[in-house]
Structure 1
Amino acid sequence: MDKRQVKGSGWRTVYETLRNEILTLTLQPGQLLDENTLAERFGMSRSPVREALIRLAGEELVVTLSNRSTIVAPIEVRTFPKYVEALDIAQRMTTRLAAALRTAADLKQIASRQQSFEAAVQANDYLEMSEANKQFHLAIAKAGKNPYFTSFYERLLNQGQRMLHLHFEYIERTQDSYLLTDEHNQMFEAIRAKDVDLADQLAHAHTRQFQDNFINFMRENYTSDVSLSPLTTSGNKHARRD
């Protein structure tokens, strides 16, 4: 990186660069982020580096340890069942509300976000895909007119972006499934038709597809000791790692 381009531009350059590298797994989970090393890399003092790390910590992308060192937040396989359980509930609820309460302006915004996602798919850009996917689902959540659900859902989507990146990579490489474009379009049509029950079903299937592909990726690349029972429509059975 050309230090002349970033020197003096403040914490935002550090934040955006590190965030992208964390989301794309260029910076691996658990990797140490040393303030002095980063300050030298970006040609800045430690203050903007520290500010960037604080903001990344707010998104739960980095973790400060008891000895005050900072690392890239681990991807916790053991807690994935609880994560996907919460994601399933939030995704179904926000999509149901959108189907019930959406306006014409909401539909226009959701469609625009879907177009951005499709463009990222065409470009085969996983980082843009994960960001566009998040914005598509947030547009749906905002159409549901409940800011508390939207805030909770956004936090879950932020936490899941690295896992989604792996999900995209797995689908693209194995061709065992399809990318999310068709599922997004089906959800959009259910919301446009104000079909609340169908929107719920599609949102649930969307979560289940993400769960299955992520677990298959983890089994293939990291561990064979992953056992998940499938999500059910009623939500009474949840994923579990033995």
Structure 2
Amino acid sequence: MSDEIEIKRVRGTGWKNVYDTLRNEILALTLPPGQLLDEMTLAERFDMSRSPVREALIRLAGEDLVVTLSNRSTIVAPIEVASFPKYVEALDVAQRMNTRLAAALRTDADLKIIAKRQKEFEAAVKTGMHLKMSEANKQFHVAVAYAGKNPYLASFYERLLNQGQRMLHLHFEYLERTGEGYLLTDEHDLMLEAIRAKNVERADELAHAHTRQFQNNFIEFLRENYTTDVSFNPLAAAE
């Protein structure tokens, strides 16, 4: 079940409405990578001046969801397949470190928030709507990160999760279409239990396996859809 968002004319109420609408359409791939985002066309669509549209695009650029080219035109940020190995390496380090810290430093209040976010992810999975699933997955991991009490590491990790949401959306579509692999629900439960038990090494192991599962399925998606010669060095086993 896909969650495609119809692109239509919307009467806006300011930059926030433009930002929210475009962000959802970009993450759901309704606005595909490389799509031109013309300020005048968007202003007409949202029935407003160009200033709030420009503000929305600036904020989307801050999340690396749109890119301003040398000719000053703006496009939806490409999904750079060639940079995926470096992306997933950074994701693995951030995911492991933040999950380790959460296991070591979490409070009872943190556990309640993480558990709540996991329930929300499970509910999103039941809807079959990939955008809801990717957003709920991000919020689960953000809750884990902030339980680690290092806002710098948590902020870096959250940025990586934002950048990876479109890839996760494709990952969910691949799993649904092929029936291969599995969704992340069980791994989330195991991570929560390791954090609850303050088992740092187990939390690290699960976080690493979590990244590898995403990497492996996304590579299979790329091979199926883009090329028969996609080669990445797999992430090393957790030490």
**Number of the residue aligned with 2:4:** none
CA–CA separation in structure 2 for the residues paired with 1:143 and 1:106:
6
Letter in 1 for 2:168: L
Q: Matched residues in 1 for 2:46 and 2:73: separation? A: 19
Whether the aligned pair in 1 keeps the contact of 2:205 and 2:238 (CA below 8 Å) is no
Kindly state the Cα deviation for residue 2 of structure 1 after the two structures are TM-superposed: 5.6
Please point out which of 151, 154, 158 is paired with 2:158: 154
Q: Which amino acid aligns with 2:145?
A: A
Deviations, residues 47-69 of structure 1 (Å, cap 9, x unaligned) = 11101000000000000000000
For residue 230 of structure 2, give the secondary structure of its aligned residue in structure 1. coil
Deviation at 1:84, TM superposition (A): 0.2
1:34 correspondence with 2:38? yes
CA distance in 1 between counterparts of 2:228 and 2:234 reads 17
Q: Which residue of 1 aligns with 2:176?
A: 172
Following superposition, the deviation at residue 229 of structure 1 comes to 2.1
Residue identity in the other structure for 2:75: I
Aligned to 1:240: none
Residue 222 of structure 2: which of 218, 222, 227 is its match? Answer: 218
TM-score norm. by structure 2 comes to 0.95
Tell me, yes or no, if structure 1 residue 44 matches structure 2 residue 75.
Answer: no
SS at match of 1:225: coil
Q: Distance between the aligned counterparts of 1:229 and 1:11, measured in 2?
A: 42
CA distance in 2, matches of 1:75, 1:165: 12
> Are residue 130 (structure 1) and residue 134 (structure 2) matched?
yes
In structure 2, distance between residues paired with 1:52 and 1:229: 38
- Give 2:93's aligned residue: 89
Secondary structure of the corresponding residue to residue 160 of structure 1 = helix
Q: Report what 1:190 is aligned to.
A: 194
Of 72, 91, 102 in structure 1, the residue corresponding to residue 76 of structure 2 is: 72
AA partner of residue 61 (structure 1): L
* C-alpha deviation, 1:233, in angstroms: 2.4
RMSD over aligned CA atoms reads: 1.1
Q: CA deviation at 1:230?
A: 1.4
Counterpart code for 2:60 = L
Identity %: 76
